[in-house]
Amino acid sequence: MAVSTAEVAANAPCEDRMEVRDTGETAGQTIIGLFDGHGGASASQFCVERTLDFFMAARDEGMDVAKALSACVSRSEEGYLAQCRARHAKRDSRGVLAGTCALIVHVDKLARAISVANVGDSRAVLAERDSFGILSASPLSFDHSAQSDYERHRLVSTFGEAAGKAGGGAIVHEEFDEYVGDYNRTVHGLTMFTRSIGDFELKHNFAAEFFNGLVPEDKELPPVRSTDRQDRSNTQQARKRLRAHLPWLARPHVALVLKLSCIHLSLAISFLFLFIWVWDQRTHRWTKNGRGSFTSRM
């Protein structure tokens, strides 16, 4: 089976990975893995190296294609998070922030069957041409996205309205986007996808302990605590701390000097534009005569 690809990387270096493999079971069976990484390429690289192997192992265990697809996703998730925990024991934070959405597609040409497993908001679409030569597209995957009513309901019913947010706060954030005329919905204001492989720090309650373990023992981090009801007081405290460390900010004459500097800059720009306009008007009053000299039209 021929496979053509086109790629437009959003980041440099690219965090996405893909693998195409002949299953070797019977003729005409192909497995394709597409991994849309974020937060680094650690998770997507892990998946491209192991997910299809997990699929093949599940098939060898006697699982059908559907169960094998589900198993390879679950084993990829478990394997990557186990790797993060092992690195934690060595005070190594690499890959902790990385995650990936995934599409795993199994194509059986003899049976004329396509099976798809997806995690996150990477989308699979089947393009078909009818008898008139017109192409139509049919979705083969379901987006795990905060834009989906089903996924928002699942998050709230499974984890609670304020799950995972210290001090409270909605699990799904909504912000109206005037440009597109619709709401942008994200999980805790961080991600639009609601499922992924990896993203260790978003899935475990002991993620704070993980990062604290990376702080040298002779160092101490001040506690940071914030809730919706404390936003105003925290702002005032932050202002006081800034003034304590940068006392010159609190002096009235500093603000006056900054204000006067802005006024002087505005006046200078205005005079510059006035000079350019006057010069332009003056030069347009002169015209070249036939003897090669200039005479005024005034």
Three-class DSSP labels, the chain: CCCCCCCCCCCCCCCCEEEEEECCCCCCEEEEEEEEEECCCHHHHHHHHHHHHHHHHHHHCCCCHHHHHHHHHHHHHHHHHHHHHHHHHCCCCCCCCCEEEEEEEEEECCCCEEEEEEECCCCCEEEEECCCCCEEEEECCCCCECCCHHHHHHHHHHHCCCCCCCCCCCCEEEEEECCCCEEEEEECCCECECCCEECHHHHCCCHHHHHHCCCCCCCCCCCCCCCHHHHHHHHHHHHHHHHHHCHHHHCHHHHHHHHHHHHHHHHHHHHHHHHHHHHHHHHCCEEECCCCCEEECC
Same domain, 208 and 85: yes
Same domain, 153 and 168: yes
Res 191: pLDDT? 86
**What percent of the chain has a predicted confidence (pLDDT) above 90?**
28
Same domain, 114 and 151: no
Same domain, 138 and 149: no
For the domain that residue 57 is a member of, what is the CATH number? Answer: 3.60.40.10
Same domain, 83 and 157: no
pLDDT band of 269, cuts 50, 70, 90: confident
Res 4: pLDDT? 74
Same domain, 30 and 102: yes
Domain that holds residue 81: 17-142+204-212
In a domain, 12, yes or no: no
- Lowest-confidence pick of 126-135, 137-146, 150-159, 279-288: 279-288
Domain count, the chain: 3
Report the predicted TM-score, pTM, of the whole model to 2 decimal places.
0.65
